[in-house]
Amino acid sequence: MITRAAGAVAALASMFVAVSPALPWFGASTPSGDLTTTGFGSSGALWVLPLLGALGLAVGLAVAASRSPAGLIEERWAGGALVVLGAMACLWALWAALDPPVDVLVADGPADRRVALPVGVRPAAVLAPIAAAIVAGAGAAIALPWRARR
């Protein structure tokens, strides 16, 4: 029962990890209004999150749909895979969120200039590492040997 529930939790959290780069990650306030940029628009390195999220979704759904007895070696491998996928996604998302590679470029006629504005982090940049940590935690719950086995 714990295994299937943890697989469902990992699948749901992986879905958010996969779509999070398409949401606004960073923003800045200007006199003319707020500017926001998505994770993809600000950091091209976030292309890896949808890949890790899709893999986590597939593994989580496979575990959630499993009808096998608890404690099989396949479940322990799946849990380990979720731990690795979640940890990688968490580190990648933290790296992007803690060091926003965002500059504001003002198009001023023939000469463009960069303006130093404080860049704020939007909720998706905070929630993506948390969701990835949930994937890793669910994987640990699946992989841990403390569960009863047949």
Hey, which residues does 104 pair with through a beta bridge? 115
Judge whether 17 and 51 are in contact, CB under 8 Å. Answer: no
Residue that has been written with the tokens 């996969």 in this structure: 18
Whether residue 103 contacts residue 114, with contact meaning beta carbons closer than 8 Å, is answered with yes
Q: Which residue has the higher pLDDT, 35 or 69?
A: 35
Single-letter amino acid, residue 54 = A
Cβ proximity of 139 and 72 under 8 Å = no
CB 144 within 8 A of CB 71: no
pLDDT in tens, 45-97: 788 999 999 999 999 999 998 877 655 667 888 999 999 999 999 999 999 88
What pTM, to 2 d.p., does this model score? 0.84
| β-strand partners of 111 | 108
**Residue 150's pLDDT band (boundaries 50, 70, 90)?**
very low
DSSP 71: T
Share of the chain above pLDDT 70, in %: 82
